[in-house]
């Protein structure tokens, strides 16, 4: 007979994501997860298989959340240039409010594990390709509307903006002011002109 779960899986995933984001995969023990999630080991193993299975589910949860936020911006009535600026500015805002200086969870995961974990590598690569495809379409629209230069392809500009976003998240892990990060956004936007 199957046991009844006495926890909400999505809430436990959010808590696990928070802990992994703070400590990383290797530095987080099963006991850390038991303590932080408030559930027993058996529940973790029954629900996610093992620590790695739980970790992969937190990466999926993070992707769903961050992709949803970005896609919501695309539905706005703003110009392509405004959407790209907002995308980068939101990173500056979010990063400046993160006292723990965590950076991007997916990028942190790729840095820690992509070289040795095919699942993490695939998730990071898939995310990059999807984000670049969305940015490509947005920049192409901006080029057609005369908002962005055509000196480079929309694909090149999309790759540039995606990497600028990653760079901002990395910068935020160290000592940098919000104003310095905003300068990076200004330069990136001017590079598209």
pLDDT at residue 3 is higher than 80:
no
Longest Cα–Cα distance in the chain: 65
pLDDT at residue 45 is higher than 60:
yes
Q: How many residues does the chain have?
A: 193
Each residue's pLDDT tens digit, 59-111? 999 999 988 888 787 778 899 999 999 999 999 999 999 999 999 999 999 99
Q: Of 61, 87, 106, at which residue does a domain stop? A: 61
Residues 185 and 116 in one domain: yes
HSE of 149, CA atoms in CB hemisphere, 13 A: 10
Tell me what pLDDT residue 70 has. Answer: 80
Q: How many angstroms separate the first and last alpha carbons of the chain?
A: 64
Tell me what pLDDT residue 2 has. Answer: 56
Residues 137 and 42 in one domain: no
Residues 32 and 108 in one domain: no
How many structural domains compose the chain?
Answer: 2
Residues 34 and 82 in one domain: no
pLDDT interval class at 6 (50, 70, 90): confident
Tell me what pLDDT residue 1 has. Answer: 47
pLDDT at residue 11 is higher than 90:
yes
Residues 131 and 175 in one domain: yes
- pTM (predicted TM-score): 0.90
Residues 108 and 183 in one domain: yes
d(CA 147, CA 188): 14
Residues 9, 37 contacting (CB under 8 angstroms): no
Tell me what pLDDT residue 112 has. Answer: 97
Tell me what pLDDT residue 74 has. Answer: 78
What b-and-e string marks burial along 5-20, b requiring 16 or more CB atoms within 10 Å of the CB?
Answer: eeeeeeebbbbbbbbb
Query: Mean pLDDT over all residues of the chain?
Result: 94
In a domain, 66, yes or no: no
Q: Write out the residue range of the structural domain in which residue 133 sits.
A: 76-192
């Amino acid at each position: 007979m199957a046991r009844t779960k006495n926890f909400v899986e999505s809430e436990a995933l959010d808590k696990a994501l928070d802990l992994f984001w703070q400590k990383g995969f290797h530095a987080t023990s099963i006991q850390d997860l038991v303590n932080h999630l408030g559930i027993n080991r058996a529940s973790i193993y029954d629900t996610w298989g093992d620590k790695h299975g739980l970790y992969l589910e937190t990466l999926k949860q993070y992707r769903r959340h961050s992709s949803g936020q970005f896609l919501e911006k695309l539905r706005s009535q703003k110009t392509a240039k405004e959407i790209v600026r907002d995308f980068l500015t939101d990173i500056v805002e979010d990063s400046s409010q993160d006292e723990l200086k965590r950076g991007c969870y997916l990028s942190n995961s790729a840095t820690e594990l992509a070289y040795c974990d095919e699942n993490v590598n695939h998730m990071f690569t898939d995310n990059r390709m999807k984000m670049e495809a969305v940015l490509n379409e947005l920049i192409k629209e901006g080029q057609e509307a005369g908002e962005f230069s055509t000196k480079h392809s929309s694909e090149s500009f999309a790759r540039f903006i995606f990497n600028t976003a990653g760079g901002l998240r990395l910068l935020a892990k160290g000592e940098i002011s919000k104003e310095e990060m905003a300068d990076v956004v200004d330069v990136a936007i001017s590079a598209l002109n």
